[in-house]
Amino acid sequence: MVVHKDQIRDDIVSVAAKIFTRFGYKKTTMEEIAMASRKGKSSIYYYFSSKEDIFKAVVEKEAEELKKDLKMAIDEVENPINQLKKFILFRMHKLKTLTNFHTALKSDSLSHFKFIENIRKEYDQDEIEIVTRILKIGIEREKFVIDDPDLAAVALVTAMKGLEIPLFINKEHGRIEDRLENLIQFLFFGLIKQ
Amino acid sequence: MVVHKDQIRDDIVSVAAKIFTRFGYKKTTMEEIAMASRKGKSSIYYYFSSKEDIFKAVVEKEAEELKKDLKMAIDEVENPINQLKKFILFRMHKLKTLTNFHTALKSDSLSHFKFIENIRKEYDQDEIEIVTRILKIGIEREKFVIDDPDLAAVALVTAMKGLEIPLFINKEHGRIEDRLENLIQFLFFGLIKQ
DNA sequence: TAGATATTCGAATATATTCTCCGAATTTCA
DNA sequence: TGAAATTCGGAGAATATATTCGAATATCTA
């Protein structure tokens, strides 16, 4: 029956996610996925049309998770400025656990998969949407002075991505929060009401 | 010149050890080893005759390290009973970092390499030797009552290996020491002078 | 229960990767 | 300068892997 089939697909995706996380796309074999799922290799092809197809499902699942958790994390905080901080920090931490989605975003050895381009765009869109919402609320509450919040959101997200790599590389976790403070001050220089 | 060549071999072995540790024998490619060593693929073949040959060098190096460190660790302790404890504990902890040697000892997907059999035998021999020495010193100092220390050493090492797996799997590090106490009591029941 | 449909898997095939070797180019050093 | 040491690109054979096929089995439906 159909429901059951989705369940098995999900199981396979979970199992595959772990293996992809450990070994990366190329070094992961269908045989491994099959064995770990306790199925025959060809049964996997009953549920997925290809290795790429499984990977796609894995990445999409991780993207969903990130999106959902991001929204939840932000809602836990009140002040829009703190929401921004939380957004940047939480995103960064969470991304470390979502290895497959993260490499899908970064790796160019994977960029020949057309689906990755779509995921990127979609995810960018989501981020901008979230930030825009935060900014607009901030403006309403007279925390921010921004003429064009849509434009500002794009700029902010872009800047954030630019800063992601140095932050990612930096191992000194304690200091990230401090630097984040500076980042926000910098990005919103003159825009935050004192 | 010859000295330089050995140096480069050593470098390659170090680099390869990391990759083998991360991905295992099969998933590691000569190309990766070459790239990580910043050499052309075929240059690697100038220094080693095959992938197996590199792996052999890696495993032998780790075996050397274990052997050396084990001896040092034991010498830091006085009482033979404590030496035994230290031997068992240290060996177990150290083995966790020497992944390639460890898998060489255990994995049967690798057992078609003839050199592995030799390494095993050699290492077993070394262990028995060390334990025998500890026992004999213990007897001299009248800590132990053992008729045949050679036989006892073999029995002890064998028992130790049997207990290795459950100890390895057990994550609760704190308790390992306690259980070790029991193990020694058990193995030497009636043999340790009170 | 029969017949249809869903699922499984072993074995075969097509494709891709990887090990290994060759030989020519470059470097080192006496 | 010339001989030996070292490097590496690229080719070919061997191996590994992804994917397909078809037959067997299980599950559902009426």
**B27 contacts in chain A (CB < 8 Å):** 23, 27
Of all residues in chain A, the one with the smallest CA distance to B23 is: A23
Which nucleotides of chain C does any protein CB come within 7 A of? Answer: 6-11, 17-23, 29-30
Question: Domains of chain A, with CATH numbers?
Answer: 1-48 (1.10.10.60), 56-187 (1.10.357.10)
Best of A23, A27, A29 to mutate (most B CBs within 10 Å, chain B): A27
pLDDT (tens digit per residue) in A36-50: 999 999 999 999 999
pLDDT (tens digit per residue) in A118-136: 999 999 999 999 999 999 9
Q: Which amino acid is at A142?
A: E
Alpha-carbon distance of B31 to B84, in angstroms, equals 44
Which token pair is A163? Answer: 């800063």
- Write out A59-71 in H/E/C secondary structure: HHHHHHHHHHHHH
Of all residues in chain B, the one with the smallest CA distance to A19 is: B23
CA distances in angstroms from A106 to A99, A101, A114, A120, listed in the order given:
10, 9, 14, 10
Q: Which amino acid is at B106?
A: K
SS3 state of residue B75 = helix
pLDDT (tens digit per residue) in B128-171: 999 999 999 999 998 888 888 898 889 888 877 776 666 666 65
Best of B21, B22, B27, B32 to mutate (most A CBs within 10 Å, chain A): B27
Nearest to B144 by CA among B54, B79, B86: B79
Of all residues in chain B, the one with the smallest CA distance to A29 is: B27
Contact A60, A119 (CB under 8 A): yes
Instruction: Please check the confidence at residue A3 and state whether its pLDDT lies above 80.
Output: no
Q: Look at A63-67, A110-114, B41-45, B59-63 and tell me which has the smallest mean pLDDT.
A: A110-114
- Say whether the CB atom of B112 is under 7 angstroms from strand D: no
Which tops the pLDDT comparison, B44 or A143? B44
| pLDDT value of residue B148 | 87
Nearest to B87 by CA among B153, B25, B14: B153
Q: Within a 10 A sphere around the Cβ of A129, how many other Cβ atoms?
A: 13
**% of chain A at pLDDT higher than 90:** 51
pLDDT (tens digit per residue) in A49-105: 999 999 999 999 999 999 999 999 999 998 888 898 889 889 888 988 999 999 998
**A23 contacts in chain B (CB < 8 Å):** 23, 27
pLDDT band at B188 (very low <50, low <70, confident <90, very high): low
| pLDDT value of residue A175 | 66
Contact B64, B71 (CB under 8 A): no
Nucleotide nearest to B51 (CA to C1'): C19
- Say whether the CB atom of A39 is under 7 angstroms from strand D: no
Alpha-carbon distance of B180 to B191, in angstroms, equals 17
Cross-strand bridge partners of residue A192 = A144
Range B34-50 average pLDDT: 92
Contact B34, B41 (CB under 8 A): yes
Alpha-carbon distance of A113 to A133, in angstroms, equals 31
Alpha-carbon distance of A11 to A30, in angstroms, equals 15
Q: Within a 10 A sphere around the Cβ of B86, how many other Cβ atoms?
A: 19
- Say whether the CB atom of B56 is under 7 angstroms from strand C: no
Report the gap between the CA of B172 and the closest CA in chain A (Å). 24
Q: Give residue numbers, 20 to 79 of B, with CB < 7 Å from strand D.
A: 26-27, 39-43, 45-47
Buried (b) or exposed (e) across B58-70, using 16+ Cβ within 10 A?
A: bbbbbbeebeeeb
**B23 contacts in chain A (CB < 8 Å):** 23, 27
| pLDDT value of residue A2 | 46
| pLDDT value of residue A24 | 93
Contact A110, A25 (CB under 8 A): yes
Radius of gyration of chain B (CA): 20
Which tops the pLDDT comparison, A38 or B88? A38
